[in-house]
Amino acid sequence: MSPTENFSGKSGERSVPETDEKPKISPADRTFLVVVDTSEELKAALRFACRRVVRAGGAIALFHAVPQSEFHHFATIGELMDQEARTEAERLLQQVAAEVHRQTGQFPILYIRQGDPLDQLLEVLDEEPAISVLVLGAGTGSEGPGLIVSALSGKLAGKISIPVTIVPGNLSDERIDALT
């Protein structure tokens, strides 16, 4: 069959049989999505993702969800609270983005959403096929591993169709470097 024949033997564009499989992603096209919050374990998750990108290629994306305010009695006060929370979230993402740039030389993709963090995370993962690995930091204190890490065995179980890397928050930089 010539390169310009399709599978039916006619001249023209070559057709490709349809499959349910997603196209293979090369390491250079991989995007590591890091969930950003104010926890200590973020540092370990971020370093892990950045080291993977530096060593194997790819890009970093940062995700943060701003919870919707519960203050409904006075609409303008609720709107001001939402705007203030969004401004703080943008400031946090910019600080973390600067750290990604320092570690990788690349600027990350930023995703900021408003609403339930779990629902918003699932939406981003569904909408963005380039995201190929979810990277989470796990808390090691008495309060537990964190909302999203805990949800992986509950509400999120079976809903995420990409690999998830859970990085213990107490790993040293040296240990993370050795693992990546």
Q: Which ranges of the chain does DSSP label H, i.e. alpha helix? A: 42-56, 75-104, 117-127, 147-151, 173-179
pLDDT of residue 72: 57
Q: How confident is the model at residue 3 (pLDDT cuts 50, 70, 90)?
A: very low
**Is a pLDDT exceeding 60 seen at residue 19?**
no
Cα dihedral sign, 152-154-160-161:
positive
| Least confident range of 69-78, 100-109, 132-141 | 69-78
Greatest distance between any 2 Cα atoms in the chain:
70
pLDDT of residue 9: 41
pLDDT of residue 156: 76
Q: How confident is the model at residue 76 (pLDDT cuts 50, 70, 90)?
A: confident
Given the structure tokens 């993962």, which residue do they identify?
125
pLDDT of residue 136: 94
pLDDT of residue 23: 57
**Is a pLDDT exceeding 70 seen at residue 12?**
no
Query: Domains in the chain, start-ordered, CATH in brackets?
Result: 34-179 (3.40.50.620)
**Average pLDDT of the segment spanning 153-161:** 81
33-56 per-position pLDDT tens digit: 999 999 999 999 999 999 999 999
Q: How confident is the model at residue 24 (pLDDT cuts 50, 70, 90)?
A: low
**Is a pLDDT exceeding 80 seen at residue 126?**
yes
* Element containing residue 98 per DSSP (H, E): helix 75-104
